[in-house]
Amino acid sequence: MTETHFATRASISGHTQVVVILAHPVGHIRTPAAMNAHFAAAGQDAVIVPMHVQPDDLAAVVDGLRRLRNLGGIIVTVPHKETIAALCDDLTDQARLVGAVNAIRVQPDGRLLGGQFDGEGFCAGLVAAGHAIRGRRIWMAGAGGAAAGIAFALLRQGAGALAIHNRGAARAEVLVARLRHAFPGREIAAAGADPADHDIVVNATSLGLHPGDALPVDCTRMTPGMLAAEVVMQPEVTPFLRAAAAIGCATHPGLPMLTEQVPILARFVTARDWAAG
């Protein structure tokens, strides 16, 4: 799917709610097209625009955005999801648990409330495609903001076991400790790059986004019958998915995570009847 498949809004006025998405870089992001199509289809006078923000400039940008009186909300993507949590005035329960934010709403008093919906979107995308989560043994690459959200969601959905691999092993251990605290008695462990003996293999890193990226997993250890699931949306078929398909694995692309999140994100950042929780 390309951005030309998404509908666009007819006009922007002084009454339009402006939503921004903060990213670095911005060329690959699909969220603006998807959310603008949602706003147009819903007849909602809102628009989302991308802003390319370097990590060192994030705090200054957020401080400036606070001063915009027509700011509807903020969407947050790589690499800002964890850093921006500390710049919010409050967090939803889920964002606080995960330690990362991918959407911010402006409260009536001007305070910024951060929320986290990556895991909800990822799991909803799997289920919508007919892939069961409950009881499945899952190996996941990544321990960053999106990965943490996905890990908590997979366990809430009843994953039978979760192994987490990260290039920085210490970061995986920290996430595992937090997950074990939230889900006592569950089978949760840090892991190496070998996904053997698992049912679902998830790439929750940005590897595959840029040409020449290393594979996130040792695909030679994957076998037919496994499901390879991706969070990277562009390209639609990543090197990881291509390698898994060549082995005979089923594949699940990254775009459904966004597609399932769009209505949730749109309501969170623009609706005035959303309740924190």
Q: Residue 228: which domain range? A: 119-257
| 130 belongs to a structural domain | yes
Report the sign of the C-alpha dihedral through residues 198, 202, 207, 213, in that order. Answer: positive
218 and 106 co-located in one domain = no
Residue in 81, 105, 165, 198 annotated catalytic: 81
Provide the pLDDT for residue 41: 94
Residue 275, in any domain of the structure: no
- Residue 143: CB atoms within 10 Å: 25
Question: Catalytic residue at 81?
Answer: yes
**Whether residue 128 is found in the same domain as residue 247:** yes
pLDDT tens column, 22-61: 999 998 899 999 999 999 999 999 999 999 999 999 999 9
pTM: 0.91
Please report, for the domain that includes residue 21, its CATH number: 3.40.50.10860
* Residue 4 pLDDT greater than 50, yes or no: no
Closest CA to 253 of 202, 187, 219, 218: 202
Would residue 158 count as lying in a domain?
yes
265 and 235 share a domain?
A: no
CATH number at residue 232: 3.40.50.720
At residue 248, does pLDDT exceed 50? yes
In the chain, how many domains are there?
A: 2
Mean pLDDT across the chain, nearest whole number? 93
What is the predicted pLDDT for the residue at 8?
A: 52
Whether residue 169 sits in one domain with residue 211:
yes
- 64 and 110 in a single domain? The answer is yes
Query: 277 lies in a domain?
Result: no
